[in-house]
Amino acid sequence: MDGLYEHAAPYVGYVYPNETDIGWSVLIVIYPYITGLVAGAFVVSSFYHVFGMPQFKPIARFALLTALCFLLFAPTPLLFHLGRPERAFNAVITPHWTSAMAAFGYVAGFYVVVLLLEIWFAFRVDIIARSKTAEGALGLLYRSLTLGSDDVSARAIAYDHKWARALAIIGVPSAAGLHGYVGFVFGSLKSREWWSSDLMPVIFLLSAIVSGVALLVVLYVIVSKLRRVPLQEDCLRGLANVMWAFLIVVLVIEALEFIEIVYKARDGIETIMELITGPIWLSLLLQVVGSGVALAVLTVLIAAKPRGANFAAWLSGSAVLLMLAVLAMRWNVVIGGQELSKTMKGLLTYHPIVFGREGVLTALMLFIGPFVVLWIMTQLLPPWQEES
């Protein structure tokens, strides 16, 4: 046995023997995190394509590419976690309709198709233009992507926008279902008090949107600096408003969930409090303090309306804090739930390994992967071209 299962987690109190090996490692932490970034990025693109909000136009196409690149890497942590990853497709080929994993395969597959079609309609004019100038393998690639259509008339472009909007409308509930499913997987596990909550899918979805919007803020500021083009402050203010609104809601719901656990005071509440002040205290502190500081900064930015570099810097800083806070939340849910014994009278302490199939280094490489693919995609399909 390799990786995670080489060492049993230390524990105190009453713990079942099979619980000393924590089955869901750091890979299962970044799995819902990457999936959440997909949902958040797609929601931002939908603000322009569906609701027609002009302030999001500069980043709408970039958000589509971001969603696609992170969606392509969303299943990879699960595949690395499996000892026989080729068997993952059995859940889709021979589905059991009570399996949440099988449902995820269909939802994710449908969402990939919708996202690819929307990107094709959004970039069709650019693909046609490049197919007429590119040579060699790239020229062949662009010509194949035109699907035999080179009509760029006003009527054809209007048709593209119509279909892109329709697909975006379909994609919004698909994106919500994609990440709401992840929360459902944890919330439906009645055997663990830390997970079993009807609010879990809602919390996962809303926090996913917060982290996805925060990612777009950071990427937009960095890419604009690298391209040496001015930042569109209306776009940044729109992103700040979205982050602030969803952050308020998710913090209220998370607080209600915790208050409900404490108020019910079921058997084992003392162990839950020991979990909070023990194994997960640092990640919980990062989640709470990071969210609180980011909320305070966003509130001041929205109320004071500063301009220029200071505004971009403070907004980027709050976005980074929110990304770290949401990552800490995923850690607290996935790892914290396993550190709490099923007897509710014992605690385990998980220490992640650095190397190996389920190590921190592998998780880091999988998280970097979408950024590499996004850079390649932006070279093939520049999302900023419509600005000019």
Q: Inform me whether the pLDDT recorded for 342 exceeds 90.
A: no
Q: In the structure encoding, which two tokens stand for residue 18, read together? A: 């099979």
Separation of alpha carbons 271 and 343, rounded Å: 10
Asked which of 51-60, 284-293, 325-334, 336-345 is least confident by mean pLDDT, the reply is: 336-345
Name the residue range of residue 101's domain. Answer: 3-382
186's CB contacts (< 8 A; 6+ apart) are 195, 200, 204, 333, 334, 337
Separation of alpha carbons 363 and 287, rounded Å: 20
387 lies in some domain:
no
Q: CATH code at 148? A: 1.20.1630.10
388 lies in some domain:
no
Q: What is the mean pLDDT of the chain?
A: 84
Q: In the structure encoding, which two tokens stand for residue 335, read together? A: 């790892």
Q: Sign (positive/negative) of CA torsion 72, 74, 76, 82?
A: negative
193's CB contacts (< 8 A; 6+ apart) are 261, 266, 268, 272, 340, 344
Separation of alpha carbons 171 and 115, rounded Å: 7
H-type helices in 82-199, by residue range? 90-93, 100-131, 136-145, 154-187
The whole-number pLDDT of residue 63 equals: 92
Entry pTM? 0.88
- The number of helices, as runs of H, and strands, as runs of E, in the chain is 13, 2
309 lies in some domain:
yes
Query: What confidence tens digit (pLDDT) does each residue in 20-64 have?
Result: 777 888 988 998 899 888 888 888 888 888 888 888 888 989 999
- Residue scoring higher pLDDT (346 or 220): 220
Total structural domains within the chain: 1
Query: What confidence tens digit (pLDDT) does each residue in 118-162 have?
Result: 898 888 888 888 888 888 888 888 888 888 888 788 888 888 888
356's CB contacts (< 8 A; 6+ apart) are 2, 3, 4, 362
Separation of alpha carbons 275 and 277, rounded Å: 6
285 lies in some domain:
yes
Type of residue at 194: W
Residue 165: pLDDT band by 50, 70, 90 thresholds? Answer: confident
